[in-house]
């Protein structure tokens, strides 16, 4: 507790900005207040998109979605993935081998101590999931996405 108080005082003196749970929005129109995000999203989507939470595996109906179309960010509706890049990873989360161009941005996440690559919607900053190097060809990547952070738009 003492360390937290010291860090808080130091942060106030240095003018440091508070750390955001979600990544910063690249589009200023999506720099919404916490209340605005809570009104816009379901409780589960808010937990994942704004607090970098993780949904339980095998709970998303998008795991079994096989129609052609695009997967959009549930926060701002930006298209992130094509159904053509979707594959069954067996992990319990919708998985893709590549995002649509400009759809996602990445950062390093140390929440499990070892570094992982977290990705988020490049427009609103909403957390989507993590990318791993165990996916299929042609990229070898597995973008492991929280289903609640997506909205499917059929072709």
Total-model pTM: 0.82
Active site residue 144: yes
Sketch the domain layout of the chain as residue ranges.
25-154
Q: Which of 76, 121, 124, 144 is catalytic?
A: 144
The CA distance from 1 to 124, in Å, is: 33
Strand 95-96, strand 104-109: pairing: unpaired
What is the CATH code for 25-154?
2.170.150.20
Tens-level pLDDT at each residue, the chain (155 residues): 333 333 333 333 334 333 345 677 777 789 899 999 999 999 999 999 999 999 999 999 999 999 999 999 999 999 999 999 999 999 999 999 999 999 999 987 766 677 778 999 999 999 999 999 999 999 999 999 999 999 999 99
> What b/e sequence results for 56-74 when a residue is b if at least 16 CB atoms lie within 10 Å of its CB, and e otherwise?
eeeebebbebeeebbbbbb
Q: What is the helix (H) or strand (E) element at residue 47, kind and residue range?
A: helix 43-51
User: What is the pLDDT, as a whole number, of residue 21?
Assistant: 56
């Amino acid at each position: 507790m003492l360390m937290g108080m010291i860090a808080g005082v130091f942060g106030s003196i240095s003018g440091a900005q508070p750390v955001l749970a979600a990544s910063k929005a690249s589009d200023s129109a999506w720099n919404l207040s916490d209340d605005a995000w809570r009104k816009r999203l379901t409780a589960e989507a808010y937990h994942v998109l704004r607090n970098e939470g993780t949904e339980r595996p095998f709970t998303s109906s998008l795991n079994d979605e096989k129609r052609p179309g695009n997967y959009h960010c549930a926060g701002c509706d930006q298209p992130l993935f094509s159904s053509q890049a979707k594959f069954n990873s067996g992990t319990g989360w919708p998985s893709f081998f590549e995002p649509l161009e400009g759809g996602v941005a990445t950062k390093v996440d140390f929440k499990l101590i070892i570094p992982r690559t977290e990705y988020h919607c490049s427009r609103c900053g909403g957390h989507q999931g993590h990318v791993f190097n165990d996916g299929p060809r042609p990229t070898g990547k597995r973008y492991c996405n929280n289903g609640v952070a997506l909205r499917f738009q059929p072709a």
